[in-house]
Amino acid sequence: MSGWVVRAAWGRVAGLGLVAGLGLVACSDPSPGGTASSGDDGSGSPASSGGEPGTTGEAGTTTADPDSSSGAPMDGYPPEVLEVLDLPWPPDEYDPPLPAHFLTPAVQALDNTPPGNPITDAGATLGRVLFYERALSRNETIACATCHPQATGFADPAELSEGFDGGLTGRNSMGLVNARFYATGRFFWDERAATLEDQVLQPIQNEVEMGMTLDEVVARLEARAYYPFLFEQAFGDPGIDADRISRALAQFVRSITSYRAPYDEGLAAVGGDPLVDFPTFTEQENLGKQVFFGVGNCASCHLGQQGDPLPPGTPPPNAAIFMLVAPANNGIDVSLVGEDNGVGDQVGDPALNGLFKSPSLRNVDLTAPYMHDGRFETLAHVIQHYDNGVLPHPNLDARLEDESGQPQRLNMQTVDKQALQVFLSTLTDAAMIEDPRFSDPFRG
């Protein structure tokens, strides 16, 4: 299903910026060794057929009987789809208009949607079904959603994710929210996947996570009667292949956008300036927001953008995404070489050891444990790390250093740290967590 830093570890609550990465779309970040097959960005136009008129599926839903008032089809899915899946007709809207703070040039520049794979309603609907499809795993026991539950912000509440045969992944599964808004388009904690289309196929093929080959996956989907219609709607004909699986999953993951949290309501109430008090916030929430943009030194990373830093007091042009724009080292370890060196291991450059991609801070209250290895159990632990626990790693991000080049020591007051945690809770998007567009579509 996100800087270089570490997992839901909103890695720099105090200074750096989420040390976490938004890596894994289909399942948790697999341990090294899974092979990948890159899906290219071919284009496909959704079809508009609606099934045979007047037929009725075993689920008891009429496929295309006309609505008595409008004459429009009440349901366009054929029986073989309806008896297995609970899907609305017409398909849900998966690329709805976003609020103003998502439409600034700084935010739009972060969108990694390729021209050849835009989000379509039919494509994302197919992606949703695939996201919850257990047939993608060797023994049909897990799906992408197993390691990325909607209820926990599409992040795994376990420290390490469990694969189809009980094996554990090498890293924690990060949240998928706002994966669309990471300009480079690279995924996994170590950014080894060049695109989201590439990334979604890797957990399927990983020997620990799902244990399949792409040919086996295609054969399984072809044997399920509900897929040809869905593929035809998404891509114009019922053909099933790995590229289309990749593109549909990527469309669904990109559609998981968080923009309906209390923070978003407060920002709209003041016309888009996050630096002023929100009338919809409590006194403590506004204090926490002041800490986030001020003494906590959080916004410079988590609401960062390309280019030079802004002058103090200037409203950021990106007040929406809450995710680092590049990998970072957040000082959770001190030695240059460790068991997991993140980007450094991937590219073979010790100067990049300890750098990890970060996920968005949105819904961070739900995505514990934090960091790439799940070492921090609570947000309070993360805040304490950035306040007074950053270690002097040789590759420590400069934003976590003081003027003398030493790890930052913010020494915040307890009241400020508590308020900061309360503010982070205002990024919880209950509407997204409960949105049926992102829920399990399988009946029973």
Q: How confident is the model at residue 305 (pLDDT cuts 50, 70, 90)?
A: low
- Helices in 54-170 by DSSP H: which ranges? 79-82, 105-108, 121-131, 144-147
Mean pLDDT of 19-37: 38
Using one digit for the tens of pLDDT, what is the confidence trace for 362-386?
999 999 999 999 999 999 999 999 9
Cα dihedral sign for 424, 426, 430, 432? negative
How many angstroms separate the CA atoms of 226 and 355, rounded? 43
Cα dihedral sign for 168, 174, 175, 176? negative
Using one digit for the tens of pLDDT, what is the confidence trace for 392-443?
999 999 999 999 999 999 999 999 999 999 999 999 999 999 999 999 999 9
Write out the E strands in 295-441.
none
Q: Which domains does the chain show, CATH number per domain?
A: 262-431 (1.10.760.10)
265 alpha carbon, distance to own chain's centre: 21
How many angstroms separate the CA atoms of 405 and 402, rounded? 5
**pLDDT recorded at residue 6:** 31
pLDDT of 69 strictly over 60: no
pLDDT of 9 strictly over 90: no
pLDDT of 98 strictly over 90: yes
Q: How confident is the model at residue 313 (pLDDT cuts 50, 70, 90)?
A: confident
Q: Are 125 and 77 in contact (CB under 8 A)?
A: no
How many angstroms separate the CA atoms of 331 and 303, rounded? 20
How many angstroms separate the CA atoms of 139 and 210, rounded? 8
